[in-house]
Copies of this chain bind each other. A is one copy, B any other.
Amino acid sequence: MNNLSPKVQNQLSMLQQIQQQLQTILSQKAQYEMAVREAKRAQEEISDAAEDAVMYMSVGTVMMQKKKDVINSKLAEKIETLELRIKSLEKQEKMMQGKFEQLQAQIKAALEGKVTPTAA
């Protein structure tokens, strides 16, 4: 490490930061995707129930009794919100991925450039 130029060292630490940010984005996206799948499964499950079936919906640690159609529209709203967030994360992911590849290419070029004069 200590024979790398300060510039390359800096690029390497930026690369690591981008990698961590990408991981954060991907794990967030995975969580939202799971929440969407759960909400859709809940919608399916509800669709079989009678209009007056006893149901609760939880927000954090609180469960409230609600009517089937209220729960249904709340689930639809939730899915919509989550899908918007997923799209926004996918944009960020692509941007980060682009930055990552660019930086990686710069570091590769710098390292190869450095190796050549030493070998000569």
Contacts and interface: CB of A to CB of B under 8 A. Distances in A.
Oligomeric state, in copies: 4
A109 interface: no
A60 B62 CA distance: 12
B61 A57 contact: yes
A16 to B, nearest CB: 11
**Chain A at the B interface: SS class:** mixed
A96 interface: no
A60 to B, nearest CB: 3
A54 interface: yes
A50 to B, nearest CB: 10
A11 to B, nearest CB: 13
B71 A53 contact: no
